[in-house]
Amino acid sequence: MPLDPAPLNSLGLPKSPAETRVVVAMSGGVDSSVVAAKLKDEGYDVVGVTLQLYDHGAALAKKGACCAGVDIHDARRVAEEMNFPHYVLDYENIFRDAVIEEFAESYLGGATPVPCIRCNERVKFKDLLDTAKDLEADCMATGHYIQRKMGPHGPELHCAEDRNRDQSYFLFSTTPEQLDFLRFPLGHLPSKAATRELAAQYGLAVADKPDSQDICFVPDGNYAAVIEKLRPGSVEPGEIVHADGRVLGTHNGVIHYTIGQRRGLGIGGLSDPLYVVRLDVETRQVIVGPKDMLATRVIPVREINWLGDAPFNSQKEWHLAVKVRSTRPPREAIVRPISETEAEVELLTPEEGVSPGQACVFYDPESTRIFGGGWIWRGH
């Protein structure tokens, strides 16, 4: 008689936790620390890996700015407290080539990039995932707030239980192959408070560590300073021009502005509020206009990663909900495939401040499932 297959463990694998090796991507923050501690507590063979992605001292040309070192120390301390091996991998060159360089180019090209997505796509879920396989791991776990659920066609990506913490916008480019290997043990938790409670329960020193808010290599939110360092002399002054052609003032560089910006334009004395409606890198002009000029209905999207069950271009159109900014709720839209990786997205209600360089993420309007997404390029 054939033996019954082994029951699945909590990570959905048919073996005991002790026989299941899990590489945990540890950033030094409370989320990934709790994932590592929880899996170790459940009896898994845990290996912690922390990526050194950048040197703050070099990035900002000032001493004592190395908070990356603190994060590595915190991750190592959790591994010592919970008694599992921990490795630090130097990914500075990979990170610079795959994320920071494009970030600078994108900003200088008048776009508003989202480097966290590129980091997940090109570093964490690519190179680090390969490293996890080299370490003979059965899967890799992260502290992201998103859920992986088994569907009839294989693993599916779903929003986190706590919608306020949901990180689906930053993970839309996760491929089906990566999803096979990834696990997100925090996605079902009701709140961040529940994560901190677990950290306290495991006695972790990072239980009260504050969340990081900024892009990791731009710790004070000053993008322009980082780009000036990366591309000396590339930030040139130009004119602030009204959409009707009037020159209203001057600026110190297009990179200081984003689509939809109203404050800090430095053009006072006008009766109606004006917003940045377009950035023209060629002529170095910041074009401003009234709020109604910001409304966008049709968005071109490319580099699409599709997570639906049927092929993306097997239908003329998909009726989905889409998110065009991480802070906005999904809105109803019609997604019309042009090719396997390009589409035209028509919003049923126009959105303001849609910017090239941001992601357009696809959601099932009927459930919590994520159908992937793509990158917004030139606006119409």
Task: Catalogue the active-site residues.
Answer: 119, 216
Question: Helices then strands (H, E): number in the chain?
Answer: 10, 17
User: Would you tell me how many other CB atoms lie within 10 Å of the CB of residue 176?
Assistant: 15
Which distant-in-sequence residues (6+ apart) come within 8 Å of 134 by Cβ? none
CA of residue 308 relative to chain centroid, distance = 20
Residues 38/31, Cβ–Cβ less than 8 Å: no
Handedness of CA 304, 308, 309, 314 (dihedral sign): negative
Q: φ, ψ for residue 360 (rounded to 5)?
A: -120, 110
Q: Answer left, alpha or beta for residue 264, where phi above 0 means left and psi between -120 and 50 means alpha.
A: left
CA nearest 306: which of 376, 369, 371?
Answer: 371
- CA dihedral defined by 327, 330, 335, 339, rounded to 10 degrees? 40
CA distance 158 to 171: 10
